[in-house]
Amino acid sequence: MPYVSPAHYTVPDSQACQQALALVKQFSPEFLVNHSLRSYAFGLAMNHKIKQGVDKEVFFVGAILHDIGLTDYVAQQDTFEVEGAIAAQAFALEQGLSAEQADLIHEMVALHNSVGVAHQCDPEIALLHFGAGADVAGLWIEDIHKKTLHEVLETYHDQGCQAGMIQLIQDQVTRKPHSYMSTMVDLGFLKKVAKHQFAHNPT
C-alpha cells in the first residue's frame, strides 16, 4: 500500500469544510472530533483500494459530519445515521454545495456503517466506510501504510476515543433499541471496539 503524507489529508481550505469542522467542534467531545478527522485521513490513505478519485471537499464534509447524529445537534429521535445524514445534507446546501454534492454527503453519512453495501457505492461512501471502520474497530488496518498510520495518530490523538465511542453507542442502543446500531451491537460490534488497541501499538 502507498505512503500518504500529512499534506494529503489536511483540512481543505473551503468555507464548507471550515464551517463543518467548526460545527463538529462546537457540538462534539474532542475524541469524536479526532475520530472524524482520522476517518477522513484513513479513508484517503486507502484510496488505493478503489482506484478512483474523490471530491475532496465533499469527502471532508461527509467524513467530519458522519457522527453528528451522535450529538445534541440533532433531535435524537431516529437512528443516528439517518438523523446525521439529514443534518449533513441540509448543512451542505446551506454552505452552497450543489444538490448532487449534498445528496452524496447524505449517503456518506447514512451508509458509513453499512457493511456489505457501502464498499460498492460511490468512492466517497466507500472510503468513509473504510476509514471509520479502521479507526473504530481496526478493520482494514493492513491496507494503511504503517508510516501513514503512525503520523495520523500523532496528528489526531485518540485519547479517550475507545471508551467514549462505547458509551455513545450504548446510549444510542438504550434510547433506540430498534435502530441499526442495536443489531450491530447484538452481532458483537462493541466487543470489536473494546479489543481495538491500534493507537497504543499500531504495528
Q: Is the pLDDT of residue 201 over 50?
A: no
Instruction: Report pLDDT for 178.
Output: 83
114: enclosing H helix or E strand: none
Could you tell me the pTM of the whole model? 0.92
The three cell numbers of residue 134 are 479502521
Q: Answer whether residue 143 shows pLDDT above 50.
A: yes
3-state secondary structure (DSSP) of residue 182 = helix
Position 198 confidence tier, pLDDT thresholds 50, 70, 90: low
Give the pLDDT of residue 179.
83
With cut-offs at 50, 70 and 90, classify the pLDDT of residue 48. very high
Task: State the cell numbers at 183.
Answer: 443489531
Compute CA distances 95 → 48, 98, 198, whole Å: 30, 9, 36
Can you tell me the mean pLDDT for 95-100? 98
158 pLDDT exceeds 50? yes
Average pLDDT over residues 167-172: 91
Choose the CATH number for 12-195 among 3.20.16, 2.60.40, 1.10.3210, 3.40.50: 1.10.3210
pLDDT at 199 over 60: no
Long-range own/partner contacts, residues 159-163 (CB < 8 A, 24 or more apart): 159/31, 160/29, 160/30, 160/31, 161/31, 161/32, 161/34, 161/35, 161/135, 161/199, 162/193, 162/194, 162/196
pLDDT in tens, 22-33: 999 999 999 999
Mean pLDDT of 107-125: 94
**C-beta separation of 145 from 2 below 8 A:** yes
| Residue ranges covered by each domain of the chain | 12-195
Residue type present at position 115: V
Angle between helices 15-27 and 30-45 (to 10 degrees): 140
pLDDT surpasses 90 at 189 = no
